Amino acid sequence: MRKEKEERKEMTLHGQDRKEERKAMTLFKSEDEMAKFMEILMELSFSSYMEYKKRLTDPHAFRLPNFGNSCYVNASLQCLFTAESFCGELSYLLDNSVHKLEDTFLRCFVELSRLRKSSEVQGDISKDSLLLALIESATDINPEFTINEQNDAHEFLCHCLTQMEESGRWLGWQEDLDPRCPVKANFKFKMRNIITCSSCGSQQNNKVEVFNHISLPLVHDSVDQCLYDIVNNPKVLESKCKVCGVECANSRWTFHTLPRFLILQLNRFKVTEYYTVVKLDIPVEIKPELQINCLAQSDTSGIGHYLSDCSSHIPHQWMTYNDELVTLTTETDVLKMRSSSAYVLLYESVSTG
């Protein structure tokens, strides 16, 4: 017992200088009291470690390795994996198509999404090789997405959708006929740009454009207000009117269609007058739900480390994916903690009827 107490004492004070050791010893009346204190401390540490380990070994945790500044890849993929209906459509179409060299990126993504959804023990070798193959396939299209190079998560997320769409063309996917392209069916939406003369009120432009995300300048203290500003408040621009000749007009955007999954990118970077890029840590309120009006009408650009907070339907829970570190969290904590750092938000359309 005496020997065990001495071992505990030695292990605890290892690496401390003599002055700190003497100072620490004055806090205890005896060696027995110090040993008892250390025993309680070790029990608390072990309990905390087991709780931490339990959170990391959650059966729904899907860890992705960081191969060297590849956190932006992992965060983007984890975000897309939460779009379960989208991943399911991709999986179904690939199972009913012939493998081609051009669909390597697409197949790697689908296989990774299947591993993430599976409750079975994950094969790390297979997972790592799939992730590497996916990154290499992206690098073949855009050499900027190489391992050990910092990049922007939003740019990579948009690249994923574009490369999937291009791969789909090789497989015969179409926009309005079966087999339909899941990228267009889930992420693409239309917005109408109306440009009106400030003087005579005549419309100079009324056309519909297709998007897969919306970039929001942080001009308000909440995400919904920033979005409202984009689609409701007109912007003044120089445009010569063909009717009255005045070179001043108002430009306004409205939703023509809504996607199943809406990607919002918060503009947290700006270029200074000295042409340096700085990050904006402006806090904004993030709401779990957005109310968006869509009026149907007839047709007449990384710095830092990336992680992803994702929710699942079954079971309903939130998890933080930080490369290979995966922890349970809550919706309340996510909305509170990410108010100053959220960069890309993914919303899913739900029925209100």
Q: What percent of the chain has pLDDT over 70?
A: 77
| DSSP per-residue codes, 116-140 | HH--SPP-HHHHHHHHHHHHHHHHH
pLDDT of residue 16: 43
Task: Report the pLDDT value the prediction gives residue 25, as an integer from 0 to 100.
Answer: 46
- pLDDT winner (highest mean) among 15-29, 66-80, 91-105: 66-80
| Between 316 and 115, residue with greater pLDDT | 115
* Mean pLDDT of the 277-301 span: 74
pLDDT tens digits, 313-343:
766 788 888 887 878 888 898 888 888 888 8
Q: For all residues of the chain together, what is the average pLDDT?
A: 80
CB contact set of 214 (below 8 Å; sequence gap of 6+): 227, 230, 262, 263, 264, 265
Q: Over 50: is that where the pLDDT of 14 sits?
A: no
* Rounded Cα–Cα distance for residues 253 and 269 (Å): 23
Looking at residue 1, its amino acid is M
Q: Would you call 341 helix, strand, or coil by DSSP?
A: coil
Residue 108 has pLDDT above 90, yes or no: yes
pLDDT at 335: 87
Q: Which residue has the higher pLDDT, 98 or 342?
A: 342
Encode 12-43: b = buried (16+ Cβ within 10 Å), e = exposed. Answer: beeeeeeeeeeeeeeeeeeeeebbeebeeeee
Arithmetic mean of pLDDT, 194-220: 88
The pLDDT-based confidence of 26 (bands split at 50, 70, 90) is very low
Q: Which of 77, 87, 227, 262 is nearest to 153 (CA)?
A: 77
> Does residue 301 register a pLDDT over 50?
no
CATH architecture, domain defined by 71-300+302-348: Alpha-Beta Complex (3.90)
Query: Which band of pLDDT confidence, cut at 50, 70 and 90, is reported for residue 60?
Result: low
Residue 143 pLDDT: 94
- Give the rounded percent of residues in the chain with a pLDDT score beyond 90: 33
* pLDDT value, residue 200: 84
Task: Say yes or no to pLDDT of 178 above 90.
Answer: no
